[in-house]
Structure 1
Amino acid sequence: MNGKFRVKPVHLVPILASLLFGLLCAFLLLTFSMEIYGVTPFPEGIGSLGNALYFVVLVGVGALLLYLLVKRKNRRLINLITGFALTAAVFMLSVIYLSAVFSNFAVVYADVLILTLSVLVTVSAYFAIFRARSGIYNFTVLCLGGALGTFLGFSIPTLSAMFILGFLAIYDAFAVYYGPVGKIAHSGLEQLRGLSFSFKDVQMGLGDLTFYSMLTSRVLFDFGPIFCFVSTVGVLVGVFFAFKMLEKKGMFPGLPFPIALGLIPLIILFFI
């Protein structure tokens, strides 16, 4: 996050919209019978800490590479890399969620229809991210963050998810002030099309939205809508606190407060 502003409740609207879209995706996955392979390299339990370190290293290396590209002002290569990554992510998510939708209906040639619609969604998202004006662009990023976070919440086991979110919150606090994330923010997040959104003088990264949604969807999958609501409120309160700090500091990490407050019901219920 960066920029100086006065926080108001309206600043929480895009965060809430992204979370709600993610929860809509989560309800689709709850009706989906097909197995989705996990994205963690180590088994749950003894390997949960390893999974957390794995994700932190991935995020850290990715942020460092982006910073080096931004520093060299290689906009073409930045757009090529982010364009490929975002296009692949949108296509994968489209296939998964459309498969969840059509799994509830007897549709002739469902596979062909899913593939065709996924291509259309991917092409539309590409133009929305790299060609459209700010309103459509921001809406697309919000939806992408919610959908991607829900996929991660669904495919990462609970203990690993808690460690990953906790470690990423710690890394975020370091990276904003001493690492590549803060340096990228100073250079201008608007250079990274698809990896950030802006709303009323505040900018946030796609990663923030993704991990908020990952948290609330994981709570939904494990403990149902009531505790998911509690976690969502915790995330929103945490975002508001982060925005209050942003008033004073001009730049503040987006993960520590929301993740800490949103994790409370998950930690309590998991260890009871």
Structure 2
Amino acid sequence: MTEQKDSEYKSVDREKYKNAQAERDSHKDLVEKDYIPHFFPTYRIKGNLYPLPIILVVALAGILAFMAYVLAGIQVEGGYVSESEYGPAAGLLNGLIFTVFAVISAFIMIFFVKKYGINVLKYIFAISFGFIAFFFTDFYGSIIIYLIFINFQETATVVLIYEVLVVYVLPIVVAGLTFLMIYKYLTTKSYGTKNFIVLYIGLLIGATMGVIMPLWTTLAILIGISLWDIFATRSKYGPIKEMIDIAGASNPEEGEMSQEEIEEKIKSGEMEYDTSKLEIGIGDLAFYSMLTSSALLQTNSILVMIFTALAVIIGTGITITGLKRNKLLPGLPISIFLGIGTMLLSWFIVSTFSLYLPF
């Protein structure tokens, strides 16, 4: 009887503690994140809806990658060093080279920002997006046309129509749509339009890298870029942190507390950063979808892809939780490392028990 009462008292105490904790959390002052210019390539969304763009980019990139790699049979090996010839060592070298190029590119952008101002990034991003959108859209458009026309009997007329569509019509249409997209990117104030562009470019990059990069190169790139992401966002010399700081300084607000005061109050639990609205970077979306597309193509299992995507979403959720106490966090490391671990583990399990699974 006594033990039962003790158990009841402990249960009541735990409930009171939870209620008190929730009460304290509800009275915390929220600190808004630094100002992010509208042209920054980020997907803006409510905090509780963060899985939606990840699910969209993963699903659409997976479809494109499957069409290219499996249905159209485009199985080329990307990377600077042949992985089929030199094995995992080539993958490691490819990942290192890719990461070094990313580092150099980031510091070049910071140089231009310091020299010409933050708005120069708008035109750098616009040129990059235009290049990616035109060539990758034309690439996948030609694949879709090919997959349609292989269902017809090959006659002179069919071949002629196919060639006209692929060689003349498609590039002209894609060029027009690309021009319109870049114009909208440079002029629009709509978050919906911006989100569409960021999502579209992200899935094109993710699908293409998932198709052309072999396994070890993919893993090396993802790990290398994730480690770089930590430095770029957390170090005072990190280019992403510098860009955000420069952008925030260009939009000061009167009556703001100093960053030191804010950090002190956050450490004491009096304040926390507002995570009701989030900015998911285009690089995060691209590398998430690269990992899941690669998981699908390398393992030939949609189950492995789904498990990998779920791990990425969970990792992003963990990162978002940390954003309540940190102004800026890298979006890749937790999600990518969880995703890679889940991909390898589920691949092993699915391969081992493939006789008993429907996929």
Counterpart amino acid of residue 57 in structure 1:
V
Q: 1:19 aligns with which of 43, 58, 62?
A: 58
1:33 is matched with 73
- Pick which of 167-176 and 230-239 moved more: 167-176
1:47 is matched with 90
Taking the aligned partners of 2:320 and 2:119, their CA distance within structure 1 comes to 32
Counterpart amino acid of residue 296 in structure 2:
L
Q: 2:313 aligns with which of 236, 244, 249?
A: 236
- Cα deviation, residue 12, structure 1: 2.2
Counterpart amino acid of residue 33 in structure 2:
G
Cα shift readout 1:138-164 (whole Å, capped 9, x = no counterpart):
111112101211101111101110111
Query: Are the counterparts in 1 of residues 215 and 294 from structure 2 also a CA contact under 8 Å?
Result: yes
Cα shift readout 1:150-181 (whole Å, capped 9, x = no counterpart):
10111110111011101111111122111112
Q: 1:68 aligns with which of 111, 115, 126?
A: 111
Q: 1:201 aligns with which of 277, 283, 299?
A: 277
Larger of the two Rg values belongs to structure: 2
Taking the aligned partners of 2:48 and 2:200, their CA distance within structure 1 comes to 20
Unaligned 5+ segments in structure 1 are: 192-198
Alignment of 1:125-136 (within 5 A): 125-132=181-188, 133-136=190-193
Query: Are the counterparts in 1 of residues 203 and 285 from structure 2 also a CA contact under 8 Å?
Result: yes
The alignment's TM-score, normalised by the length of structure 1, stands at 0.87
Query: Are the counterparts in 2 of residues 175 and 181 from structure 1 also a CA contact under 8 Å?
Result: yes
Taking the aligned partners of 1:206 and 1:22, their CA distance within structure 2 comes to 14
Counterpart amino acid of residue 3 in structure 1:
K
Taking the aligned partners of 1:159 and 1:37, their CA distance within structure 2 comes to 12
2:242 is matched with 183
1:211 is matched with 287
The alignment's TM-score, normalised by the length of structure 2, stands at 0.67
2:48 is matched with 9
Counterpart amino acid of residue 223 in structure 2:
G
Cα shift readout 1:36-86 (whole Å, capped 9, x = no counterpart):
562x11121231111111111111111111122222343564333322221
Query: Are the counterparts in 2 of residues 129 and 141 from structure 1 also a CA contact under 8 Å?
Result: no
The percent identity for this pair of structures is 23
Taking the aligned partners of 1:154 and 1:66, their CA distance within structure 2 comes to 28
Inter-CA distance 76–175: structure 2 relative to 1 (3 Å threshold): closer
Taking the aligned partners of 1:128 and 1:22, their CA distance within structure 2 comes to 23
- Pick which of 176-185 and 229-238 moved more: 176-185
Unaligned 5+ segments in structure 2 are: 1-31, 35-45, 150-157, 251-274, 352-359
Is 1:173 matched up with 2:249?
no
Taking the aligned partners of 2:311 and 2:179, their CA distance within structure 1 comes to 35
Query: Are the counterparts in 1 of residues 181 and 197 from structure 2 also a CA contact under 8 Å?
Result: yes
